[in-house]
Chains A and B, each alone.
Chain A
Amino acid sequence: MIHVAGLQKLYSGGRGLRSFDLDVAQGELIGLVGPNGAGKTTLIKILATLLSPDRGVAQVKGLDVVLEKQAVRKIVGHMPDVPGVYQDMKVREFLLFFAAAFHVPSVTRPKVVGDILQWSGLEDRADGDVEHLSLGWKQRLVLAKTLLHSPALLLLDEPATGLDPLARLELRRQLKELHHRGVTILISSHILSDLEDVCTRIVFIADGQNMGQTGQAAVSDAPPPPAPVIYEIEFLPSAQAREIAEGIAGMQVLAASEGMLRLSVTGGREQMAKIVSALAAAGVGITRVQPVSELESQYQQLFGGKQ
């Protein structure tokens, strides 16, 4: 669905994309993660035909995003980080306008808009003013607008920013539903727990380059690499805790302080039980043991020094 190779788009100050590569298969739900200024929005804007790259290839379903803009726009839905809406319009009128802008035939337009209103939960607000919607509802409206022409690829730039927890849950539900319908989705976000919940693969981006990924790429036949589990152990201040942990095979101390250890454990829960027992036997007062999100941990390892 997406083929990006050697993509470069640099702004003054050196930010942007530098030789970025990415391949996304049909039906994948890809998360794009990286620090501010990493190039996430630039990549999404290039794929949405808003920006032209300086160099490299960017294709959507085999169509060049620079040379075949109009054809790309027919199959891409783009939702920017800040939802732009016409405040003076009614909700239904807003969707009818964009349905016309996406060349939805006038005969089917009311039905298409009615279906989208129902799907997005905006049916009760259809005849209300856009300006009276909360941020969460505006996000829903913009997502609904993005889906009017049934795009095969959705590009979502920070769609959960500023949403309350309920709105975020609803967004996750909608994304999962779209994914089950076979829509390919590329989503950038800083909310790692959301991405971990919905994405089939997460791509890390920093300094405009692809820094690796989690999960299994649908385009790859290779088996997934064995992923170590990260644990965090909190305990009453102890000088010997680190030494004990380092003495057990299959453990790697990622970070340590006077009352905390962050460990990478390859042997699963059994291995973790060993270290807990060893620490307890040495008289270390353990107060909390918690597995850390793999994504969060990987993010810290990759970008901890950059932020």
Chain B
Amino acid sequence: MNPMVRKELNLRMRERRGWILPTLYLTAMGATIVFAYYIVTTERTAREGLQGATVGATTFLTLSYAQLTLLLLLVPVFSAGSLTIEKEQRTLAALITSLLRPREIWFGKFSSSLLFVGLLLCTGLPIMALALSLGGVGLVELLFTVLTTLLIIATISALGLYCSATFRRSVHSTAVSYAAVILLSVITLIVFLLLFSHWNSTHPGIPESQIPRVLRIPLYLNPYYFLTMGFGVAANISRGEWLICLAVYTTIAVSFMALTWRAIDHSGEQL
């Protein structure tokens, strides 16, 4: 086993946040399902003949988006500080001058970050399964949601690690990582809406389903769009869009991985 992976996992689980974060995460997820269920099944809507499948699907979607939001907020905490902390506590020089290669150091940091987030995802599964019990969504939807969420989180982790390898201080690295998360989640959506609004005004009468693909480029970077397309993969509604998002996210993750290996190899200049 890569000694970095073992070390990172051991140290991570010894930290106080090793148990505080799962507790907070589950509390937030629990609150979300209660809130979603309450909103969907208020007396007024229930009188309008609401079906269990609709309640289940709505609750599932709400939980999935809430879960992604929580994880997008948590991932930079783990990844963006993981190499800068080695610089701050002056242990990076010892790692670099050992026989560990940059890719092993990266893999240790990446896998521990991803495994911890994976642990959160797993602990949240019983709550997600509650939505399944209401109907409207199946196991395949759940699996694609978890897979898509993991892919998004892996990409954000790779991005955070790159920031961590580039910056000297955790505070700067984390700030830039959060800025990148906002760029991907919010700015891409705003850019798309502006482009769409312009296109809509210049092409009156054309249905929205015929929006040219080039206009959707910002959306392929958006994690929420990627997740939304994941919901429809099983029913073959959005498989093409999901695959494009998958390609985009994989390219981003691999690019940042390669850049981080290079940055680790040259990080002696920062020490």
> Contact residues of A with B, CB < 8 Å?
45, 48-52, 70, 73-74, 76, 78, 80, 82-89, 93, 97-98, 100-103, 142, 145, 149
Contact = CB atoms under 8 A, between A and B. Distances in A.
Given A100-B3, A101-B98, A103-B99, A86 B271 contact: no
Interface in B87-107: 89-101
A97 B7 contact: yes
A237 to B, nearest CB: 51
Given A83-B90, A88-B14, A73 B98 contact: yes
Interface in B11-26: 11, 14-15
Contacts of A145: 94
Give chain B's interface secondary structure class. Answer: helix
Contact of A101 (B89, B99, B269, B271): B99
A68 to B, nearest CB: 13
Contacts of A101: 3-4, 95, 98-100
A88 B269 contact: no
Nearest to A104: B99
A39 to B, nearest CB: 15
Contact of A76 (B3, B15, B91, B97): B97
Q: Of A83, A84, A142, A149, which is in contact with the most chain B CB atoms at under 10 Å from its CB? A: A84
Contacts of A98: 94, 98
Contacts of A100: 3, 6
A17 to B, nearest CB: 14
B11 A89 contact: yes
Give chain A's interface secondary structure class. Answer: loop
17 contacts: A50-B97, A51-B269, A52-B266, A52-B268, A80-B93, A80-B94, A84-B91, A84-B92, A85-B89, A86-B11, A86-B91, A93-B10, A97-B3, A97-B6, A98-B98, A100-B6, A101-B95
Q: Of A49, A50, A73, A145, which is in contact with the most chain B CB atoms at under 10 Å from its CB? A: A50
A82 B94 CA distance: 11
A84 B98 contact: no
B167 to A, nearest CB: 18
A93 B14 CA distance: 14
B258 to A, nearest CB: 18
A279 to B, nearest CB: 53
Nearest to B268: A50
B271 A50 contact: yes
Contacts of B97: 48-50, 73, 76, 78
Interface in B220-257: none
Nearest to B100: A101
A142 B97 CA distance: 13
State the 8 A-B residue pairs at the shortest beta-carbon distance, nearest first.
Answer: A84-B90, A50-B268, A100-B3, A101-B98, A84-B91, A78-B97, A103-B99, A101-B100
Given A50-B271, A101-B95, A82 B7 contact: no
Contacts of A50: 93, 96-97, 268, 271
A276 B104 CA distance: 68
A51 to B, nearest CB: 5
B268 A86 contact: no
A131 B197 CA distance: 59
Contacts of A102: 98-99
B98 A88 contact: no
Contacts of A85: 89, 91
A179 B3 CA distance: 31
B98 A70 contact: no
B1 to A, nearest CB: 9
Contact of A84 (B3, B94, B100): B94
A86 B99 contact: no
Contact of A70 (B6, B11, B101, B269): B101
Q: Of B3, B11, B92, B98, which is in contact with the most chain A CB atoms at under 10 Å from its CB? A: B98
